[in-house]
Amino acid sequence: MADLLEYKCPSCGGTLKFDAGTQEMKCPYCGSTINVETLASMDENLGVKEDSFDWVKMADNQWEEGEADAMKVYVCNSCGGEIVCDGSVAATKCPYCDSPVVMQGNLEGNLKPDLVVPFKITKKEATERYLKHLEGKMFLPKVFKDENHIDEMKSIYVPFWLFDCDTDASATYRATKTQMWSDSDNDYLKTDYYKVIREGTMEFENIPVDGSLAMPDDLMQSIEPYKMAEAVDFQTAYLSGYLAEKYTVTAKDSIDIANERVRNSTIDAFRKTVKGYVSVDNTSVNVTVNNGSCRYGLLPVWIMNTTYNNGKYIFAINGQTGKTVGNLPIDKKAARRYMLKISAIATAVVAAAEYVFLFVL
Amino acid sequence: MKKLTGIGLSLMLVLMMCLASFTSVWAAEKPRLIDDANLFTAEEENYLSVLLDNFREKNDFDVVVMITKEGLEDPELTERADDYYDYEGYGCGENNDGCLLLIDMGSRVMHVSTTGYGITVLTDYGIDKMTDDIAAKLGEKDYVGAVSDAFMEDLEMMYKAAEEGEPYDVPDSSVDLDIKDPSTHVGIFLLALPFGLIIGGIKTFRKKRQLISVKKKKAASDFVKPGSLNLRRENDYFLYSTVTATPKPKDNDSGGSSTHVGSSGTTHGGGSKSF
């Protein structure tokens, strides 16, 4: 039995019919005519693919015999953070939540980091960055500024999974161009509809996803990016004098975050290649991730915890670039006063403009 | 020869003057109420005719009322009203000032046709009100009232307004502001306040936002290998076009009178309405 092929009108969804006179497909419902070649090209895209993510190589660097012996692991029973020190430092408090930590043992059974980005920002520089972060914030409570927590600044190597991958994407958009003109009776709007197809590939490298349960994901994403060209192969010597955290989220469990970011970036980049239209709507996008691989890296972070008015505030400074982030408390009274003041001034200015417009001009 | 021409000229002048006065007298004697539909009793007809004649004499402005049952509708109704007025020689002065109300009981449509100064007196807005008032009376079967109260009273009012230099027209929407009036200042303040609050709100929001520096990142654009985006297919297919036409808004509130030229070449204003 022969299959009957039906083509749907891209405008109204009605079944198209072949018009022998014009040699084109015509929609009997809305009158649209579609070029047969155009339809044929659209036909190629009928099969809907699903996104797929193919990660082939995961971090699996192992410690050599005796290499990690000097490493001690401390556990915070409050936030679950696991701190690694090389014996030159004795961890007593959790750098995330300030709770006391207890020694758990050594690093047995854990992966060895592939690479490390060494600290470049000193404690003095980190302090300066933090103080600069507080500057120019009109609604920051004065008391918060005056209280000095700078001694609490801690340096820590945070475990990150660094993902590399290629993406292959195909996207279809429905786009429009418009033209307007008028005669004596009517205003006319002509809308041209287009089907836009983009297919291609992109490459990503070193997308960082933190492997720490205790470290908030958004805080770590906010101090991105690190200059990975300056990363070096991991040596235990780099940990000397610093705290490091052992990963508490595996690479496998971090992949979803990387997948989502890769997918969104690919969609954004493809969308930007559709130019010259008034409106562009995605009709279908599919992204496949190929040749995915992942490395385990330690990235340097200065961190500071403080409490104010029963609220906890955590600040992070990129230990390589000095980028400083951390949400600050707000002085609500100051904000209200400011709003009243500005509103009053703006009202007066607008009223003055009205007087000039109504009575002077 | 010269003398002859002089006599001829003066003779012609006298003849023309006679003719003019005759026309005027003849015009005055023409019926101003034509009731082909037998809507009125002889008594009512008399009463209304006097009303129309009096108005003409007092104001030097012709008023004609014509009732038909021919079932005329526009544009024939308008043509009929204009032509009747022109060809029957109604109107006062050199511009044939006046108006004619034609009510067709067959089609139940009426038309007010204006000529000369009538175009100034009865604006589109005025005719709209006048025909509304007439339609209300006709709806009550008060045919005499439709002419004597609705039509004539509106005409009196509108004529008076035109004589005072301000024809009855679309109300002036612009308000004259008095700087001495306290309510002016309150109005200006109330108008400025929302703008002030919006500006204050936006500026405060911006300052508040400075305190927030931690945000989740949805994309990984910092980690795209530079120049790695490689498109192997870039197709833009034209599918189809649609054209929508939106009628331009007609400026209804501009006031004044719209006019057209009748078959006699005379310019008329006017307006029709069903009842």
State residue A211 phi and psi, 5-degree precision: -100, 30
Q: How confident is the model at residue A6 (pLDDT cuts 50, 70, 90)?
A: low
Diameter of chain A measured on Cα atoms: 90
Residue in B191, B200, B212 nearest the CB of A339: B200
Question: In chain B, which residues have pLDDT < 70?
Answer: 1-29, 172-177, 250-254
Q: State the virtual CA torsion across A38, A41, A46, A48 in degrees, nearest 10.
A: -120
Quote the CA–CA distance of B161 and B169 in Å, as a whole number: 10
* C-alpha to C-alpha distance for B89 and B262, rounded to whole angstroms: 14
Would you state the pLDDT for residue A42?
63
Per the listing, tokens 């005329």 go with B72
Q: Quick check: A11 and B243 CB within 8 A?
A: no
CB contact under 8 A, B204 and A338: yes
Tell me what pLDDT residue A168 has: 94
Half-sphere exposure of A190 (CA within 13 A, CB side): 7
Q: Which of A197, A193, A195 lies closest to A278 in space, CA to CA?
A: A193
Q: How confident is the model at residue A9 (pLDDT cuts 50, 70, 90)?
A: confident
**Radius of gyration, alpha carbons of chain A:** 30
**In chain A, how many H helices and how many E strands?**
6, 15
Contact A358 B188 (CB under 8 A): yes
3-state secondary structure of A202: strand
A15-19, A76-80, A192-196 — most confident range = A192-196
Residue B249: the pLDDT is: 76
Residues A117-129, mean pLDDT to the nearest whole number: 92
Give the tens place of pLDDT for each residue, B126-147: 999 999 999 998 888 888 888 8
ipTM score for this prediction: 0.77
pLDDT of residue B7: 55
Domain ranges in chain A are 1-44, 55-168+197-330, 331-361
Residues linked to residue B247 through DSSP beta bridges, in sequence order: A186
Looking at beta carbons, which residues of chain A come within 8 Å of B214?
Answer: 216, 218-219, 222, 325-327
Amino acid at B85: Y
| Residue A39: band (very low, low, confident or very high) from pLDDT cuts 50, 70, 90 | low
pLDDT score of B251: 58
Check residue B4 and give its pLDDT: 46
Torsion angles phi and psi, residue A317, rounded to 5:
-125, 125
For the record, the structure tokens of B265 come out as 């070449």
- As a whole number of angstroms, the distance between CA A124 and CA A153 comes to 10
In this prediction, residues A240-267 reach a mean pLDDT of 89
pLDDT of A267-294, one tens digit each?
A: 999 999 999 999 999 889 999 998 889 9
Residue contact B211–A330, C-beta within 8 A: yes
Q: Over the range B257-267, which residues count as b (16 or more CB within 10 Å of their CB) and which as e?
A: beeeebeeebe
Test A348 with B196 for CB contact under 8 angstroms: yes
**What sign has the CA pseudo-torsion B122, B127, B129, B131?**
positive
Q: Output the pLDDT for position B21.
A: 46
Q: Report the residue from B228, B237, B243 with minimal CB separation from A202.
A: B228
> Could you tell me if A204 lies within 8 Å of chain B, comparing CB atoms?
yes
User: Is the pLDDT assigned to residue A50 strictly greater than 80?
Assistant: no
Does B247 contact chain A (CB < 8 Å)? yes
Average pLDDT over residues A57-85: 76
Dihedral (Cα; B93, B95, B99, B105), 10-degree rounding: 120
Q: Which of B35, B107, B113, B39 is nearest to B70 (CA)?
A: B107
Res. A24: pLDDT tops 50: yes
What angle do helix axes A332-355 and B182-209 make, rounded to 10 degrees? 140
A118 backbone φψ class: left, alpha, beta (φ>0; ψ -120 to 50): beta
Q: What one-character-per-residue DSSP string does A135-195 give? A: TT-TTS-HHHHHS--GGG-EEEEEEEEEEEEEEEEEEEEEEEEEEEEE-SSEEEEEEEEEE
